[in-house]
Amino acid sequence: MSNPNGRKGASFEQAVCDHLKADGWENCERRVKNGRADRGDVTGLPNVCLELKNTKELDLAGAMTEAKVEAGHAGARYYAAILKRRGKPTSEAYAVMSLDQFSQWARVLEAHGYLR
């Protein structure tokens, strides 16, 4: 019997990749699952690991723990969890990161003159 949550997750993963591609990340694509050594759900964003969740209940802590572990497997410096919002388009999904990760992103933006 097929897993409806798997189809729902795969559909969301493809929608996120399509959105990122439209935003200029042309190498973005769904990543092949690696079981316990999973390296995130999306590839094509340099040094970034994304864990995508399309679930009825939002579990921020669980999603972030998974993203951090998978970033370690991928050797990625940055990671975030992308969580589907019920009844909203993909563009309005939540992108969740720790305060430490946010501060690092802000420093990169500042260094390139984007926060002035």
pTM: 0.87
Q: How confident is the model at residue 1 (pLDDT cuts 50, 70, 90)?
A: very low
pLDDT digits (tens, 9 = 90+) for 26-48: 999 998 776 778 899 999 999 99
Residue 66 lies in a domain: yes
**Average confidence (pLDDT) over 5-34:** 88
CATH of the domain at 17: 3.40.1350
Residue 116 lies in a domain: no
> Nearest 5°: phi and psi at 9?
-65, -45
Residue 81 lies in a domain: yes
Question: Which range marks the domain in which residue 77 is found?
Answer: 4-111
The domain total for the chain is 1
**Average confidence (pLDDT) over 65-87:** 96
The sheet carrying 29-30 orders its strands as 29-30, 42-43, 48-53, 78-83, 94-96
Q: How far apart are the first and last CA of the chain?
A: 54
Answer for the pair 52, 12: CB distance below 8 angstroms, yes or no. Answer: yes
**Average confidence (pLDDT) over 16-25:** 97
Q: How confident is the model at residue 52 (pLDDT cuts 50, 70, 90)?
A: very high
What mean pLDDT is reported for the chain? Answer: 91
Share of the chain above pLDDT 90, in %: 84
Locus of tokens 């939002």 = 58
**In the predicted structure, residue 2 carries a pLDDT above the cut 50:** no
Residue 51 lies in a domain: yes
Q: What is the pLDDT of residue 37?
A: 83
